[in-house]
Amino acid sequence: MRVRGEARSSFITRPADGKMPFRDRAKSLRLMIRDGQEYRSGKGAYTNPEDLPIRERCLIAQSDAGGPVMLNAIYNNNYSFLVTPGYFVIYLEMNHDVRIAPIFASAAKARASHAPVTIRPWLGDTVAWWEGDTLVTETRNVNPTQEGRTLTPVSSKGTVTERFTRIGKDELLYQFTVDDLVHYTQAWSGEYSFKPTKGQIYEYACHEGNYAMEGILRGARLAEGASAKTANRAGPP
């Protein structure tokens, strides 16, 4: 990864040690860690569809690609940005997610236009405004299910500020700051650059996950039944 021509080993620019300042990493990433263990082992407590990861349920893109913060996934890392007089639209290749932010005349007007805290949509509630040549967005009220299944969790009390600045013909600088004392001991920031690609972004048709989920849940019931039969044959201790 290069930003302004400089090779980078990390997205994180603050704090200086390049580490996310988790208050309790194991607690904040509990479900992500569990999902990883279940993915590697093939075994999990699949009682109902809600036990499966967001990506398995085809709800949002890999839990992180759409933001906030927007992080690259294993594949399908293309984005399309559209700016109109009234809106800023971020369209993802991964899972064809879309984040739409109304653009206001000032930061004060934008922040005053956030939805009530009781409304917590997928990818959060995002508003935008211009600061010179930089388009700034602020996101709050991330969906609570998404909060628990992302590498950059943001609580209902947290805020993510993102800045988009064209710094060259072929480079769009993306900067972000996460301010959430529920999950972190301090605000932290990062940046990377978007570079243009050739061709258009095609639809990511995520339909196979619906069949996978049925198979996973059925497999869990069969495994439970096999364990019960084994226990019955063994008899009382």
pLDDT in tens, 90-139: 999 888 889 999 999 999 999 999 999 999 999 999 999 999 999 999 99
Q: Are strands 125-131 and 98-104 parallel, antiparallel or unpaired?
A: parallel
- The pLDDT, as a whole number, for residue 155 is 93
- The pLDDT, as a whole number, for residue 210 is 65
- The pLDDT, as a whole number, for residue 235 is 63
Span 204-220, average pLDDT:
75
- The pLDDT, as a whole number, for residue 234 is 67
92 beta partners: 79
Residue 206 has pLDDT above 80, yes or no: no
- The pLDDT, as a whole number, for residue 75 is 84
CB 112 within 8 A of CB 76: no
In the chain, the percentage of residues whose pLDDT exceeds 90 is 54
**Lowest-pLDDT range of 9-18, 145-154, 204-213:** 204-213
| First-residue to last-residue Cα distance in the chain | 59
126 beta partners: 139
12 beta partners: 190
- The pLDDT, as a whole number, for residue 107 is 97
- The pLDDT, as a whole number, for residue 96 is 83
pTM of the model: 0.87
Sign of CA dihedral 43, 60, 115, 182: positive
CB 95 within 8 A of CB 204: yes
Q: Which two tokens stand for residue 14?
A: 């603050």
Q: What pLDDT band is residue 207 in, cutting at 50, 70 and 90?
A: low
Residue 24's alpha-carbon distances to 28, 67, 81, in angstroms, are 6, 21, 35
Domain boundaries, the chain: 2-42+49-217
Angle at 154 between CA 153 and CA 159, to 5 degrees: 150
CA distance linking residue 88 with residue 101, whole number of Å = 5
- The pLDDT, as a whole number, for residue 60 is 85
| Highest mean pLDDT: which range of 58-62, 111-115, 209-213 | 111-115
Q: Are strands 79-83 and 12-14 parallel, antiparallel or unpaired?
A: unpaired
**Lowest-pLDDT range of 56-65, 162-171, 196-205:** 56-65
pLDDT in tens, 25-58: 999 999 888 888 887 887 777 888 888 888 777 7
Residue 209 has pLDDT above 60, yes or no: no
Cis previous bond, 69, omega within 30 = yes
CA distance linking residue 149 with residue 145, whole number of Å = 7
CA distance linking residue 151 with residue 228, whole number of Å = 36
Residue with tokens 């913060």: 69
* DSSP label of 210: H
Q: Which two tokens stand for residue 142?
A: 């991330």
Residue 71 has pLDDT above 70, yes or no: yes
**Lowest-pLDDT range of 14-23, 46-55, 65-74, 186-195:** 46-55
